């Protein structure tokens, strides 16, 4: 007998086939703790039959136990199974002809025990959103800025070099760069798929682009972000280029890519706004472990990039948190290597802890000229090791919102990943992150 959820999924899949009769494959996607997008690719007829029969979708055996280099965390249990729970509202045709993708939550089962989702990044964000609504009647809107460059490997070397070279900082001449035609191609496809694109411009000194995405509720905003990432990388790969959003693709180049996030409270009032911001600032060093989760992420620290100290300012781009208007901030100390479901869950948790404790906003507005001479607060962590140490110190507090198992697993995964990447040549690590992100 069909359930309400299976009936809805069947309707969504049939509508997809009507709109895109060429679709043959469905990618059931999830993002792991290293920020890597993973998927099982199933034939659409098989997906429809599993949905009709009310059967579950298996994930990979190590769905959230692989580091960015694909090595498995040594303490991983080899018992049990991860299961994919598709959110059919996220189903979209991809940039790859004949393919569609749906974002999934993760359940985990061990024989003799009930299924649980304690380690699922998507479910962690949903739990925090429920707590915000139940305790404070708060909702949120989230939007992202996607910065990227176009690269290409030469015939004499596999090391990619920057291909896009047009003048940045909104210069129209940068739009004449040969790479820009493919950026526009991608934008047309994204708009056709319902992505809310507000703007596109040249960025940096040379060769960088930025796409500004419109605001959505948090889970949908992250889903949209992942779709944009995929479309960019896939569109350019078909023309023998590599798009990368990696934070520092070339060590000798001053160019750096961020993934700035706009966050607004719905509704807002001054007391809530201040305590929410105070909660984030108080825990910003530990939040960096989620926002800046690779060692090269810390090469972006500094004014105009990710900021370098715990502070905020109205319309200031020198700091990690820029206030735009009451209840609306831009968080600048984030890059593409973050799992944004976990990262956003942690950021919102920090803000809600500030609300729960009625924490005062003791950090001055450094965007106000009369505060320019004041101290900008403690320095942000200078390495992933430092930010993970801060997270371990804050773990009990954040665990009240997102759960201790998730925090412990994240710390274990990142420390294992650090140990693995230290064994690699630094240029090889940089190229790996260009490939993935």
Residue with tokens 């320019």: 372
Q: How far is CA 196 from the centre of its chain?
A: 17
Q: Name the more confident of 46 and 112.
A: 46
3-state secondary structure of 433: helix
Strand extents, DSSP E, 193-297: 197-203, 208-213, 242-244, 261-266
Together in a domain, 214 and 240: yes
Together in a domain, 162 and 249: yes
Which are the contacts of 254, defined by CB distance < 8 A and separation ≥ 6? 205
Pick the last residue of a domain from 62, 96, 117: 117
Cα dihedral value 327, 330, 335, 338, nearest 10:
0
Per-residue tokens: 257 = 């890519």
- Which residues span the domain enclosing 149? 126-436
Task: Return the pLDDT at 2.
Answer: 52
Question: Hey, CA dihedral for 221, 222, 225, 230, is it positive or negative?
Answer: negative
Give the CATH number, domain containing residue 113: 3.10.20.70
Task: Return the pLDDT at 161.
Answer: 86
Per-residue tokens: 70 = 């694909």
Together in a domain, 112 and 132: no
Rounded Cα gap, residues 63 and 65, in angstroms: 6
pLDDT digit string, tens, across residues 122-174: 999 999 999 999 999 999 999 999 999 999 876 666 778 888 989 999 999 99
- 252 is a domain residue: yes
Cα dihedral value 297, 63, 144, 381, nearest 10:
-30
Together in a domain, 107 and 51: yes
- 155 is a domain residue: yes
Average pLDDT of the segment spanning 414-436? 96
Together in a domain, 51 and 139: no
- 354 is a domain residue: yes
Pick the last residue of a domain from 79, 94, 117: 117
Per-residue tokens: 381 = 């962590």
Strand extents, DSSP E, 34-116: 37-43, 57-58, 81-86, 92-93, 99-109
pTM beyond cutoff 0.85: yes
Together in a domain, 112 and 202: no
Give the CATH number, domain containing residue 280: 3.30.590.10
- 103 is a domain residue: yes
Specify the number of domains making up the chain: 2
- 83 is a domain residue: yes
- 1 is a domain residue: no
pLDDT digit string, tens, across residues 273-305: 999 999 999 999 999 999 999 999 999 999 889
Cα dihedral value 251, 254, 255, 259, nearest 10:
90
Together in a domain, 92 and 132: no
- Contact between 219 and 340 (Cβ < 8 Å): no
Q: How far is CA 226 from the centre of its chain?
A: 7
- On the question of pLDDT at 1 being above 50, the answer is no
Pick the last residue of a domain from 88, 117, 146: 117
Together in a domain, 113 and 253: no
- On the question of pLDDT at 324 being above 50, the answer is yes
Together in a domain, 65 and 193: no
Together in a domain, 111 and 130: no
- 201 is a domain residue: yes
Together in a domain, 107 and 136: no
Together in a domain, 290 and 407: yes
Nearest to 90, CA basis, from 77, 81, 100:
100
- 235 is a domain residue: yes
């Amino acid at each position: 007998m069909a359930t309400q959820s299976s009936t809805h999924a069947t309707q969504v899949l049939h509508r997809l086939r009507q709109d895109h009769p060429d679709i043959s494959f469905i990618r059931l996607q999830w993002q792991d703790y290293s920020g890597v997008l993973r998927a099982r690719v199933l034939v659409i007829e098989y997906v429809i039959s599993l949905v009709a029969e009310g059967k579950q979708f298996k994930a990979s055996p190590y769905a959230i136990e692989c580091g960015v280099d694909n090595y498995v965390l040594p303490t991983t249990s080899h018992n049990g199974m991860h299961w994919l729970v598709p959110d059919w509202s996220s189903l979209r045709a991809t940039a790859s002809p004949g393919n569609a993708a749906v974002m999934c939550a993760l359940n985990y089962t061990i024989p003799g025990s009930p299924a649980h989702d304690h380690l699922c990044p998507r479910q962690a964000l949903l739990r925090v959103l429920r707590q915000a609504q139940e305790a404070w009647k708060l909702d949120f809107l989230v939007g992202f800025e996607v910065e990227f460059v176009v690269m290409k490997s030469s015939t004499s070397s596999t090391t990619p070099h920057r291909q896009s070279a047009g003048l940045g900082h909104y210069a129209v001449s940068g739009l004449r760069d040969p790479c820009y035609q493919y950026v526009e191609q991608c934008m047309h496809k994204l708009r056709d798929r319902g992505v809310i694109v507000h703007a596109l411009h040249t960025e940096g000194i040379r060769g960088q682009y930025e796409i500004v995405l419109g605001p959505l509720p948090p889970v949908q905003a992250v889903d949209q972000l992942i779709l944009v990432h995929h479309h960019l990388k896939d569109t350019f790969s078909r023309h023998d280029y590599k798009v990368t959003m990696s934070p520092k693709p070339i060590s000798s180049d001053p160019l750096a890519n961020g993934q700035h996030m706009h966050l607004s409270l719905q509704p807002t009032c001054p007391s809530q706004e201040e305590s929410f911001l105070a909660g984030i600032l108080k825990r910003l060093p530990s939040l960096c472990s989620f926002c800046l989760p690779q060692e090269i992420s810390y090469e972006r620290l500094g004014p105009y990039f990710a900021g370098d100290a715990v502070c905020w300012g109205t319309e200031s781009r020198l700091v990690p948190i820029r206030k735009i208007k009451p209840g609306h901030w831009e968080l600048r100390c984030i890059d593409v290597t973050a799992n944004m479901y976990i990262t956003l869950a942690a950021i919102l948790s920090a803000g809600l802890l500030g609300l729960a404790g009625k924490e005062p906003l003791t950090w001055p507005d450094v965007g106000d000229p009369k505060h320019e001479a004041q101290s900008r607060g403690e320095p942000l962590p200078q390495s992933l090791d430092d930010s993970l140490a801060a997270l371990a110190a804050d773990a009990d507090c954040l665990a009240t919102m997102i759960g201790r198992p998730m925090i412990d697993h994240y710390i274990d995964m990142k420390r294992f990943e650090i140990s693995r990447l230290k064994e690699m040549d630094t240029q090889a690590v940089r190229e790996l992150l260009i490939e993935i992100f």
